[in-house]
Amino acid sequence: MSFPELVFLENLIGDIKDKARIEEVARIPYMQERFPIYTLAFGSKDPRAPTLALVGGVHGQEKIGSQVVLTFLETMTRLLDWDDSIHQLLEHMRIVFLPIANPVGMFLLRRGNGNRVDLMRNGPFDGPSPTTFFLGGQRVSKYLPWYRGVKGAPMELESQVLCDFIQREVFPAKVSIALDVHSGFGAIDRLWFPYSHTIQPYPQLAEAYALKTLLDETYPNHVYRMEPTAQGYTISGDLWDYLYLEHQKKELGFFFPMTLEMGSWLWLKKNPAQIFSSLGLFHPMHLHRHKRILRRHLTLFDFLQRATVSSKVWTQLNPEDRAENQKRALDYWYYET
Ligand SMILES: [Zn+2]
């Protein structure tokens, strides 16, 4: 048994062959089946090389997130056939993919995995602040959404695979950005950065603001609202907060994890009938709209490649610029709203 995104990825892997380092990192058992999880790494083998990581399909019913990542993977595969500039870029950086992080959830069109655990609530830590009621993660019942799994149990295999992938491919890099693509919350496309477990500003707020400024100045008409995740809601067990905190402990390079949360309420407004379908809230149904969404984020991926390889301007701020960015960031994200 399979599903369209997995078939697409496996066909693409057939075409990629020697262009990337491809691994089947796990097989997730479900009923009589075992669903593979693949990772792909393009470019520099120097562990310290700047790295961009793209992740999709963490929440199974948000198929569009996986499709957006797969679309970029396909474009990159084709560019490698003829575009010298991408080869030059990849001499200096690495681009790594985990396009279908929760294959059983995608097969079942379910948010959680085969055990009904919400992988983005499954990290082994609780926030210091009370998290948003229920939506912030719950251990009451696996039959209710946002289930965190049994307290004290090991992480789900899919969560462990995601963490291992980031720790292996991304942590050694001197600079890295991770983008995890989701859909479902709100009416606009948001770029969320840590923290999600607390409303307290995270330590690299100045650099986040510098990156936001770079995005605003380079693409003045971009569609994104960039903000700390906790401005949407606070949650416990977010894997990106967990990974960020682990990275901080190890005093490694600069790691900037982000979530692209595509605002599906907008699609709903244009097509109210969607609410009656199982995928409605998370997935645009009309083909023309679908194509537009798959195209819509390619500019962002291009920007993130550049911001990863040419990171000095936003990650190495001098003390005055850092203080100024910090002040502006606090005004923008914390005092004016
Ligand atoms: Zn999601």
- In the reported structure, the alpha carbon of residue 182 is separated from the centroid of ligand 1 by a whole-number distance in angstroms of 4
User: What pLDDT does residue 278 have?
Assistant: 57
Residue listed under structure tokens 């903000």: 227
> What local confidence, expressed as pLDDT, does residue 267 receive?
59
Cis preceding linkage at 30, omega within 30 = no
Residue 240 Cα to ligand 1 middle (Å): 12
| Alpha carbon of 120 to ligand 1 centroid (Å) | 8
- Gap between the Cα atoms of 277 and 300, Å rounded: 29
> For position 294, what pLDDT does the model report?
80
Distance 61 CA to ligand 1 centre (A): 8
181: CB partners within 8 A, 6+ apart: 54, 55, 56, 65, 66, 68, 69, 259, 260, 262, 297
Ligand 1 centre distance from Cα of residue 327 (Å): 31
Q: List pLDDT tens digits, range 205-230.
A: 999 999 999 999 999 999 999 999 98
Q: What would the mean pLDDT of 248-277 be, rounded to a whole number? A: 78
Predicted local distance difference test score (pLDDT) of residue 273 = 62
pTM of structure: 0.93
Q: What is the mean pLDDT of the chain?
A: 91
Query: What are the pLDDT digits (tens) for 30-68?
Result: 999 999 999 999 999 999 999 999 999 999 999 999 999
Average pLDDT over residues 136-153: 85
Percent of the chain residues topping a pLDDT of 90:
74
pLDDT band at 28 (very low <50, low <70, confident <90, very high): very high
**Nearest alpha carbon to residue 206 among 328, 333, 336, 335:** 328
pLDDT in tens, 229-257: 988 788 889 999 999 999 999 988 999 99
Q: Given the DSSP bridges, would you call strands 224-228 and 189-193 parallel, antiparallel or unpaired? A: parallel
Tell me which CATH homologous superfamily contains domain 4-335: Zn peptidases (3.40.630.10)
Q: How far is the CA of 86 from the centre of ligand 1 (A)?
A: 30
Stretch 135-150: mean pLDDT, rounded?
84
Say what angle helices 84-92 and 63-82 make with each other, to 10 degrees: 110
Residue partners of 189: CB distance under 8 A and separation at least 6: 223, 224, 225, 260, 261, 262, 263, 296, 297
Whole-number Å distance, alpha carbon 282 to ligand 1 midpoint, is 9
pLDDT, average across residues 294-313: 94
Q: What was the pLDDT predicted at 231?
A: 86
Q: List, for residues 187-211, the tens digit of each pLDDT value.
A: 789 999 999 999 899 999 999 999 9
Name the nearest CA neighbour of 260 among 16, 72, 126: 72
234 CA to centre of ligand 1 in angstroms:
14
d(Cα 157, Cα 214) in Å, to the nearest integer?
37
